[in-house]
A and B are shown apart, each in its own frame.
Chain A
Amino acid sequence: MGKSVLMQGNQAVAEAALAAGVKFCAGYPITPASEAMEILAGKLPAVGGRFIQMEDELASIGAIIGASAVGKKAMTITSGPGFSLMQENLGYASMIEMPIVIYNAQRVGPSTGGATKPQQGDMMQSRWGSHGDSPRIVLCPGTIREAYELTIQAFNLSETYMTPVIIMADQLLAHNRENVVLPEPGSIKLVSRRTDAVPKTEYLPYRVDKTGIPVLPPFGGGYRYNMSGMIHGENGIPDLSAQTIDTCIRRINRKLERYRDDIVRVEHIEKEGAKTAVLVYGSPNRPAKGAVEAAAKLGIPTDFIRPITIWPFPDKEVRAVAERVDKIIVAEMNLGQITDVVRAAVEGRAEVIPFNKVNSMPITVAEILELIKKAVA
């Protein structure tokens, strides 16, 4: 057991990034995420890393992609308005298959919304915010301890699959503090991208081996190749033939389908005889668990399912729950962004009951318990 530390969510993300080996962070100030950036600004130089505050979020994510091209683990930190600006370069990172990590502490509402209040309003944007079909992995921590763990996982997944990974927290998780038992430093498994490229004379950046994942040696190491956001062939050079377009778009997306089972994480608590399940992700984790426990005490067994990986969506796992129960309550702090995804996954096997809260107040145990009672009445 490691030591127990009282930690803010943003702090957990920053400390975990350092434990994961982050060597570069660029960001633009934004509430409720800035503390993570401030911590990295202070701590990176001592571990051989650098921080820069850029002129905007477009530049911040651009800079981290550049640093990643030199082989450094790199991250940026933001909230909704900044996340919107990052969509351009996020799609670019997906396209050139460059690992980066983005931490988004969601705030309430569209536009400027409310900087100091939580919501889960960027869930669909985290998947579809960039134009074109661009892959990314999106993780939703449910506790501050899990934010620490998932930040390390975000770097590992990103380096393994050569794709951007987004950590989606919200203001509640970002600004709350709780006791976190840190893993022993030596016990954390860290992954760095492959460096075993074929010899220079045979090398093409996007000619993949049986893994389907490109090996992109850091710039400066002797491999002179081109990366481009334009549709490209194996040599990284733009090519708009129908065959190359099809191959390029399918290959960058197929990676995540192929390794889906390694990427997808869910928490499922089965209750014998359950007729209803509660599905949540992110910070509604605890009130939902509290409601399921309270329902059990009232003699209403209720399943709990929580996608920890939200994209790719754990459709198989959710469908399996739908086989067990008649109704699935989907509680979200938005107007139902994941509800329809759940409906598509269960394909009519269970009734999907949405609960949507957008007044920026946390979802409560009482609210979910009431829904459970109503569902079994």
Chain B
Amino acid sequence: MSKLDKYLRLDLMPHFACPGCTHGIAWASLVRAIDGLGLDQDRTVMVCAIGCAGRLPIYLNFPSIRTPHGRALSYATGIKLADPTLNVVVFMGDGDAVAIGGNHFIHASRRNIDLTAIVAINEIYGMTGGQYAPTTSFGRKASTAPFGMIEPKLDVCKLAMGAGASFVGRGDAYHVRELTPLISKAINHKGFSVVEIFTNCPTHVGRRSKHKKASQALLEFKDLTVSQAQAKKMTGEDLHGKYVRGILHEEIRPEYVEEYDRITGFKEEGAL
């Protein structure tokens, strides 16, 4: 019995994830962060939508809602505005966050409502059979890119920063120990926070990339990502094609609901 068991719906185990999938690392890191912060389990709402990443809250013992594909952030917005005292965590995959849900992602970043968005990027639509995502690396094969990915890859963190998110961080499933502290900081941040986590999909990406083992993808992350300390020592040329981990952006900006209540003179029902 682990001290984290209380956060899981153990009766639903085993979970559905494929052997070698690292979404579980992202989920476990989130649960550890919640535990470390001592968040009230009854007052922390999990919102997610569709796909492998979107199936998470089923296994987590919190009030949870799985919305239509891509809409998680709009539901989370309504939840937070209806009760700003709730902690609201949104867990999304590539499609939810930046394809079908891309518009919601932009505007959630801009508004700065106090939500935490965890975005697990495995470069693929795993649940539907390995179609390419906006986050698929150029040249990578997918079931709908049999000749290789033609489109450029979308950078989730750059999009979040460009749209105005007040906390943006990145991690990957290889550098596991960095994830829980990063997610904890994101949850503690007052405003809209985004944590992008590179995960792998051995079933679709790994297989089409001729990986011998699921762990090969993790070794790719080791080369693909650099810490901020490493990045500082690198030239622009060296950094080309690399992804910096850690907190990429953090600013104090007025939080939407607090501003709303201040500007509109919001009065709780029954208050004088």
Contact = CB atoms under 8 A, between A and B. Distances in A.
B78 A65 contact: yes
B77 A63 contact: yes
Nearest to B76: A66
Q: Which of A45, A66, A74, A224 has the most chain B CB atoms inside 10 A of its CB?
A: A66
Contact of A45 (B9, B42, B85, B264): B264
Q: Which of A24, A59, A71, A218 has the most chain B CB atoms inside 10 A of its CB?
A: A59
Interface in B84-114: 85-86, 103-104, 106-107
Contacts of A238: 58
Q: Which of B67, B74, B76, B107 has the most chain A CB atoms inside 10 A of its CB?
A: B74
A69 B76 CA distance: 10
Contacts, number: 150
A47 B269 contact: yes
B82 A66 contact: yes
A63 B76 CA distance: 7
B54 to A, nearest CB: 10
A237 B16 CA distance: 13
B265 A229 contact: no
Interface residues of B, number: 45
Interface in A59-108: 59-60, 62-72, 74, 88-89, 92, 96
B137 interface: no
B81 A221 contact: no
A275 interface: no
Q: Which of A55, A65, A238 has the most chain B CB atoms inside 10 A of its CB?
A: A55
A8 B270 CA distance: 29
Contact of A58 (B43, B74, B83, B266): B74
B41 A224 contact: yes
Contacts of A221: 42
Contact of B66 (A48, A63, A67, A228): A228
Contacts of B78: 24, 26, 62-70, 74
A129 to B, nearest CB: 14
A96 B270 CA distance: 30
A59 B104 contact: yes
B65 A69 contact: yes
Given A45-B264, A55-B103, A63-B81, A220 B63 contact: yes
A24 B78 CA distance: 8
Contacts of B62: 224
B95 to A, nearest CB: 15
Given A88-B68, A229-B67, A69 B41 contact: no
Contacts of B79: 66-67, 69-70, 219
Interface of A: 23-24, 26, 45-48, 50, 52, 54-56, 58-60, 62-72, 74, 88-89, 92, 96, 218-230, 237-238
24 contacts: A24-B82, A26-B77, A45-B261, A48-B266, A48-B270, A50-B81, A52-B81, A52-B260, A59-B71, A62-B78, A63-B77, A65-B78, A66-B78, A69-B65, A70-B82, A70-B86, A88-B68, A88-B71, A219-B65, A220-B42, A224-B61, A226-B58, A226-B64, A237-B12
Interface of B: 9, 12, 41-43, 45, 47, 57-58, 61-68, 71, 73-79, 81-83, 85-86, 103-104, 106-107, 257, 260-261, 264-271
Given A66-B65, A68-B78, A69-B82, 11 more contacts: A24-B82, A48-B268, A52-B77, A62-B71, A63-B75, A63-B78, A70-B86, A88-B71, A218-B83, A226-B66, A237-B58
